[in-house]
Amino acid sequence: MRNLISIEDVSPGGWDALYSLCCEMIDRPGDYIDACRGKVLATLFYEPSTRTNFSFQSAMQRLGGSAFGFAEPNATSVSKGETLADTVRIAASYADAVVLRSPLEGAALAASLYCEIPLINAGDGGHHHPTQTLTDMTTIARLRGGIGGMTIGICGDLRYGRTVHSLILALSKFADITYYLISPRELRTPGYILSRLRAAGARFFEVSELTRTLPELDVLYMTRIQRERFGDPAEYDRLRGTYVLDRPALGAARGDMLVMHPLPRLDEIAPDVDGDPRAVYFEQVRYGMYIRMALLLTLTGLGRKPVPPPTAAGPDGGHVCPNPDCVTRAEPYIPRLRREDARAPGRVYCEYCDSEITRTAPHGCCHTGSTEL
Ligand code: NCD
């Protein structure tokens, strides 16, 4: 792995190596205080962040390296209209690794095409968030002794929650996991994520009730309804507050269940749960720093690798991705990479955001669901 764009970039062997490095760092942090001395991290945050940004910066500093970047793009040349490609190229001239968060789906993959140093996706719109998943996997592995062989409930906004998408993709590689996907009907898990679960032969149930599901669970992963991703504020107002885990509700859960949350939480976990030994979301935050330390040490050692300028977008059949939040819509010079579903010939997906673009017509031209240039 050179870039971490999707959690699927981490092979099973890669995960084992990262996790064991992370455990060594937890046990003997003093051994690593100079491990990244002289290395520099660029943190480009086009979207608000507390944990992810702070944890990357503190991770780099604890390894003896340093970090620069922005959390407010309007203070940079982005406000003058600089493209994502150029901003990433500039940051890469000064740094040894780049961390990128963007509201655009597929932004990290697009940026990596222009980036000579390792690039880490710190969240691309409602699509993926692989380093949160490394955090979640570390928490589960440390507190349960392993990841496979469990029943997990994932609750809240499964449609727009990028941490959920990455987590399911990661867990689908482990044996014997049962999933309860708990959400309102409007916020169900995207089809391309469910198809991974089907392909893995996993047991999963899409349900809307949390209380009845609770007694089954080894892990409950709560999430916030993602207000910023809703096109219609009235729909957000209707769905917010659908799930509230409070002390009385927790009474139905097993004594050793883990309550996790990527944070920030709103009202989906009441503060009276914080003191319960099953509530591990603040421990989860700390594991996030250690696994990011392991990731940074691994990737900053890879050095610089020239990237040829990607070929221009070109008419490419005259179509663009139908997803208005796809990076290719905001940054039109990006080559339009697409992939065909090997198990459903004719179904074509945007390589950046995983939206279905079209079905290929018999004569090889694309039509349905796409927008003409
Ligand atoms: C998550 C995110 O940004 O997607 N936060 C985080 O990185 N820990 C979850 C969220 O914002 O709800």
Residue closest via CA to ligand 1's atom 12 equals: 224
Within 10 A of 360 (CB to CB), how many other CB atoms are there? 17
Residue closest via CA to ligand 1's atom 7 equals: 52
Q: Does residue 363 surpass a pLDDT of 60?
A: no
pTM: 0.93
Taking the C-alpha atoms of residue 325 and residue 37, their distance in angstroms, rounded to an integer, is: 38
Q: Which residue has the tokens 């349900």?
A: 207
What's the rounded mean pLDDT across residues 23-37?
97
Task: Band the pLDDT of 51: cuts 50, 70, 90.
Answer: confident
CA of 132 to the centre of ligand 1 (A): 8
Percentage of residues of the chain with pLDDT beyond 90: 84
Q: Which residues contact 27 (CB under 8 A, 6 or more apart)?
A: none
- pLDDT of 76 reads 77
CB–CB of 182/153 below 8 Å? Answer: yes
Specify the DSSP class assigned to residue 190: P
CA of 122, closest atom in ligand 1: 7
Q: Does residue 115 surpass a pLDDT of 90?
A: yes
Taking the C-alpha atoms of residue 252 and residue 192, their distance in angstroms, rounded to an integer, is: 32
CA of 47, closest atom in ligand 1: 3
Q: Which residues pair with 347 in a beta bridge?
A: 359
Distances (CA, A) of 280 to 127, 242, 273, 356: 25, 22, 10, 37
- pLDDT of 134 reads 98
CA torsion angle for 50, 52, 54, 59 (degrees, to 10)? 170
Within 10 A of 38 (CB to CB), how many other CB atoms are there? 10
Helix (H) or strand (E) holding 225: none
Taking the C-alpha atoms of residue 114 and residue 334, their distance in angstroms, rounded to an integer, is: 10
- pLDDT of 138 reads 98
CB–CB of 162/126 below 8 Å? Answer: yes
- pLDDT of 347 reads 86
Six-digit token string for 275: 């003191």
The identity of residue 107, as a single letter, is A
Q: Which of 78-87, 101-110, 304-313 has the highest mean pLDDT?
A: 101-110
Helix and strand numbers, DSSP H then E, in the chain: 11, 14
Among 2-6, 41-45, 315-319, where is mean pLDDT lowest?
Answer: 315-319
Strands 66-70 and 40-45: parallel
Taking the C-alpha atoms of residue 325 and residue 343, their distance in angstroms, rounded to an integer, is: 26
Ligand 1 contact, 129 CB (< 6 A): yes
Q: Which residues pair with 44 in a beta bridge?
A: 70, 100
Task: Band the pLDDT of 313: cuts 50, 70, 90.
Answer: low
Taking the C-alpha atoms of residue 10 and residue 2, their distance in angstroms, rounded to an integer, is: 10
Q: Does residue 249 surpass a pLDDT of 90?
A: yes
Task: Band the pLDDT of 365: cuts 50, 70, 90.
Answer: very low
Among 8-17, 194-203, 351-360, where is mean pLDDT lowest?
Answer: 351-360
CA of 31 to the centre of ligand 1 (A): 30
CA of 109 to the centre of ligand 1 (A): 19
CA of 157, closest atom in ligand 1: 12
**Ligand 1, residues 7, 47, 52: which to mutate, most atoms within 8 A of Cβ?**
52
Q: Does residue 368 surpass a pLDDT of 80?
A: no
Ligand 1 contact, 224 CB (< 6 A): yes
Q: Does residue 108 surpass a pLDDT of 50?
A: yes
Distances (CA, A) of 156 to 68, 119, 209, 221, 357: 34, 29, 11, 9, 27
Q: Does residue 367 surpass a pLDDT of 50?
A: no
CA of 262 to the centre of ligand 1 (A): 6
Pick the closest to residue 269 from 278, 261, 280 (CA basis): 261
Query: What does the mean pLDDT of the chain come to?
Result: 92
- pLDDT of 314 reads 52
Within 10 A of 341 (CB to CB), how many other CB atoms are there? 13
